[in-house]
Amino acid sequence: MLKITLVRSYIGVPEKLRKVLRSLGLRKIGQSTIKKDIPAVRGMINKVPHLIKVEKIED
């Protein structure tokens, strides 16, 4: 499982990357979500590494 936290604002970020953040469930700075560690989620994380913090947590 991965804990994903939005740490930077997405003001000025292209719409395509905003949609990636929304699909991860992130809307406000400091908000966190927990997602399964699957290739689709890893791909979304790789699109916006400069805006988020990722922690691996145990099940």
Tens of pLDDT, residue by residue over 2-54, are 999 999 999 999 999 999 999 999 999 999 999 999 999 999 999 999 999 99
Beta-carbon contacts of 16 under 8 Å, excluding residues fewer than 6 positions away, are none
If pLDDT is split at 50, 70 and 90, which confidence band does 59 have? Answer: confident
Do 44 and 23 contact (CB within 8 A), yes or no? yes
If pLDDT is split at 50, 70 and 90, which confidence band does 58 have? Answer: confident
Residue 55 pLDDT = 96
For CA atoms 59, 31, 42, 8, the dihedral sign is negative
For residue 48, count other CB atoms closer than 10 A to its CB.
Answer: 19
CATH architecture of 2-56: 2-Layer Sandwich (3.30)
Residue 9 pLDDT = 95
